[in-house]
Chain A
Amino acid sequence: MGSLAVVVLLLAVMVLSAAGVIARNWSEEVGVSYAPPKWFASTTQDTQTQEEQAVRKLDDYGIPDPIGPELAEINARLTGGGGPQARASTLPLGGDKWGRDVLRKVLKGTEVSLFVGITAACLTALLGTLFGALAGYFGGWVDDAFNWIYSVFTSIPYLLLVLAIAAVLGHKGIATVILILGFTGWTGIFRLVRAEYLKHKVREYVLAADAVGASDMRRMFVHILPNVSHVVLVQLSLHVVLFIKSEVILSFLGFGVGVETVSWGSMLAEAPSELILGMWWQIAAATAAMALAVTAFSLFTDAVRDALDPRLQ
């Protein structure tokens, strides 16, 4: 039950972050570039700038500036001031290359990654359950058609399929990632749900419903579905785990979330260039958060499965 607690905690983080209560200013640059974690003393690199500070009178080469007068007036109006603000030299979990707080990024990333994982899993569960129900219930050519699509999808390796569809949908941020994952992951659920429907549709309670005059739709979704839901629930949880990990891969390949937000995947995508420079804190934070979430969900799934599945006693 510890896993349940952790899962609830993570969901709480997700909701709070989405509401802006925590990690609101995650993109604010509060530290110097690659600020180290507070408790870890090390020297940071200070990279050079080539900027010259001298102000010189410029030759205009005889070309007048179309907006010269306006600019002159603005420059006269604005007097000196507004120097660079103070930046922290260390941050609780360290800072990334722009000096953003890794702690805040990880919290925001939790929101985004969990959202991506859960939404994609729901989408995939919806598709898989729908297809599986239709195929298992109606049988005949409907079943054949779905089985055909299923075999086509499963004969192409997952990663290749994901890349292919990613190439189709392009790079448009979170929505793209969710769609890609949702459209590629339904096969497992489909197979299980279909098997369940095949089993259940000849059961007495279904035949009874038929005798009473319930329509196909009613029988499929009102009568059988609740009895199948434990399978779907377990699969849903499993797919959340799978999709969280897939998002990391997609981000590394360049199909991840955009720059307006941050996910564990986008934090890890910077890993290769950071680790070699000795900047390990962002990777550590993202990996730890991801490990926590995935482990919690996995244990939770196991617990649910053990509780709901009558066979494994």
Chain B
Amino acid sequence: MRGIVLSVFLSLFCSASFGADKILRVTFQAAETGFDPVRVSDYYSGSVIEAIFDPLLTYDYRARPAKLVPNTAEALPQVSDGGRTYTLKVRSGIYFADDPAFKGRKRELTAADYAYSLGRFLDPKNRSPYAFLYEGIGKIETPERMTLRIRLKNPDLNFSHVLAFALSGAVAHEAIEAYGDESAAHPVGTGAFRLKSYTRSSKIVLEANPGYRERYFENRRIPSIRGVEISVMEETQSRWLAFQRGDTDIEYALSELAPKFLTPENTLRPEFARKGIRLERSVDPEIIYFYFNMQDKTVGGLSKQRIALRRAIAMAYKIDDQIRIIRKGQAIRAQYPIPPGVAGYDPEYRSPIPYDPRAANALLDQFGYRKGKDGYRRQPNGERLVIVFSSSPTERDRQFDELWKRSLDSIGVRLEIHKDRFAELIKLSHQCRLMLRGAAWIADYPDGDNFMQLLYGPNTGQSNSGCYRSPEYDRRYEKSRRLPPGPERDRLYHEMTRIMELDVAWILTDSRYRNVLLQPRVRDFAKHPVLHAEWLYIDLE
């Protein structure tokens, strides 16, 4: 009798602790800023927002390349008017998480909520950093309770991606009005999770939303996990140690320490594989590049001389060392402005610019950049030649400073480092006042247009950081906007890339590998190119 009681008690205890431990523990590498979609621009806040709010569309978890599927919408949007009008029906029976702002009643999701939420981005009072994504919206209508119609100012075949974007989730106006300035700390959504507790810049705890609609994934009701515990840990060392001790379940950002867990062949080291730890490796849909300011009086312009100067610099920059030493081998060379996983990517494309410091030296000699008595080259008109590279005062950026020094020393070009805070550098670059700087762009949505627009002349002062204006490029870009992804658009993209490369507007360097480490108990994880966090779909044993 006692034995039965004991074993029943034990099994209850064990299953209880099993079930109670369905909490996923992860870390953020940088502090979040808040959870109001309209106030946020960083990747980490975006992950949490994705978990709490529901956009109309989303992406299929498993499909590669990324495929749009309906989320709270009944079906993919009806696109009419040559790409100017998008019509969707919102599913009925979806409710916001319970919250005091609703004064005790259950609040159903309607089309008006999306009209409200998307409209917030257009309101300059909200000063959203992502307003640019929604700029194309002209009018939002709700002809019926559950029908949403969006009229764009110009035809845009990619607008569905905006509707699937993490920040396009539905917020309830009652919650925004109730919480006012504190809305970033009190997110109320229809998503799979809700905010349980929140210590700013330190710990975020999400719990499964009990009112979440019935939803299945591969025969499993999701979310399968009970909650997510996120700790903000800025130091890589701390995150690595925490993962090793089993304190965290998934680690996304340890590539700096790759040699510790990867063999030289980039497989998981046996001592970790033996413990059941798994590695998921994929290339992020991002490009990293250096841009020249085409309006700069030393390096800018499209004259043959300037092209030669920039070409020589590009031929001397040690991309190989960047990948080998700074990235610790955890990156691939980016040959094309569109990265893998994004529509329009071409794995066959190769850059015409080789690494050849000898030829670079000869090129500079030929075009009048002669060496002076101090061993450094001067401009053809006799003035001092100084390349000013701008970066922020972090240890990470310092490595790039050193690499630039080594690269430019190999062609006898003098380098000066200009240090300033990130905020200042952004300002100066938008004003076209920097000479040379590094930049990175990760896909907001998986279409190549998101990348090619970075070189479009009229985007100078915004996303076109190099202030590049090439009529040849711009002409082709405008044509490409009217084409769907396919061979015709690819041909234009090839030409545009070649134009940009020969002008040396950019020095494309690499796209980084994302090494995701998983503890054995994490199941059904698949790193998605666009979706920030896979918390909705994974399971824990």
A residues within 8 Å of B by Cβ? Answer: 29, 33, 45-51, 56, 58-63, 65-67, 70-71, 74-75, 77-78, 82, 97-98, 170-172, 252-255, 258-260, 266, 269-270, 272-273, 275-278
A254 and B393 form a contact (CB under 8 A): yes
Report chain A residues within 8 Å CB of B533.
Answer: none
B259 and A63 form a contact (CB under 8 A): no
Kindly report which residue of chain A lies nearest to residue B305, judged by CB atoms. Answer: A67
A260 and B405 form a contact (CB under 8 A): yes
Report chain B residues within 8 Å CB of A269.
Answer: 395, 398
Within 8 A of A (CB), among B265-316: 265-266, 302, 304, 307-308, 311
A140 to B173, CA, bound (A): 64
**B331 located at the interface, meaning its Cβ lies under 8 Å from any Cβ of chain A in the complex:** yes
A259 and B417 form a contact (CB under 8 A): yes
The size of the chain B interface, using a CB distance under 8 A, is: 55
**B107 located at the interface, meaning its Cβ lies under 8 Å from any Cβ of chain A in the complex:** no
B240 and A65 form a contact (CB under 8 A): no
Within 8 A of A (CB), among B359-373: 359, 362-363, 366-367
A275 to B332, CA, bound (A): 26
Within 8 A of A (CB), among B320-359: 320-321, 323-325, 328-329, 331-333, 350, 352, 358-359
Report chain B residues within 8 Å CB of A33.
Answer: 324-325
A-B contact sample (15 more), CB < 8 A, given A45-B264, A47-B264, A78-B359: A47-B324, A47-B329, A48-B266, A48-B324, A51-B320, A66-B307, A67-B304, A70-B308, A171-B393, A253-B393, A254-B398, A258-B401, A258-B417, A273-B236, A276-B240
Task: Return the contact of B323 from the options A49, A62, A71, A276 (Cβ within 8 A).
Answer: A49
**B419 located at the interface, meaning its Cβ lies under 8 Å from any Cβ of chain A in the complex:** yes
Query: Contacts A97-B325, A259-B402, A272-B237; is A66 near B502 (CB within 8 Å)?
Result: yes
B residues within 8 Å of A by Cβ? Answer: 235-237, 240, 256-260, 264-266, 302, 304, 307-308, 311, 320-321, 323-325, 328-329, 331-333, 350, 352, 358-359, 362-363, 366-367, 392-395, 398-399, 401-402, 405-406, 417, 419-420, 491, 494-495, 498-499, 502-503
* 10 pairs, CB–CB < 8 Å, chain A vs chain B: A29-B406, A33-B324, A49-B324, A59-B494, A66-B503, A67-B304, A82-B358, A171-B393, A171-B419, A259-B402
Query: Contacts A33-B324, A50-B332; is A254 near B350 (CB within 8 Å)?
Result: no
A170 and B495 form a contact (CB under 8 A): no
Kindly report which residue of chain B lies nearest to residue A252, judged by CB atoms. Answer: B395
A75 to B353, CA, bound (A): 12
B499 and A63 form a contact (CB under 8 A): yes
Task: Return the contact of B329 from the options A49, A60, A74 (Cβ within 8 A).
Answer: A49
Least Cβ distance of B258 to chain A in Å?
8
A50 to B331, CA, bound (A): 8
Task: Return the contact of A50 from the options B240, B323, B350, B401 (Cβ within 8 A).
Answer: B323
A275 to B304, CA, bound (A): 47
A115 to B43, CA, bound (A): 43
A65 to B328, CA, bound (A): 34
Kindly report which residue of chain B lies nearest to residue A49, judged by CB atoms. Answer: B324
Report chain A residues within 8 Å CB of B320.
Answer: 49, 51
A276 to B321, CA, bound (A): 21
Report chain B residues within 8 Å CB of A47.
Answer: 258-259, 264, 324-325, 328-329
Task: Return the contact of A272 from the options B235, B328, B363 (Cβ within 8 A).
Answer: B235
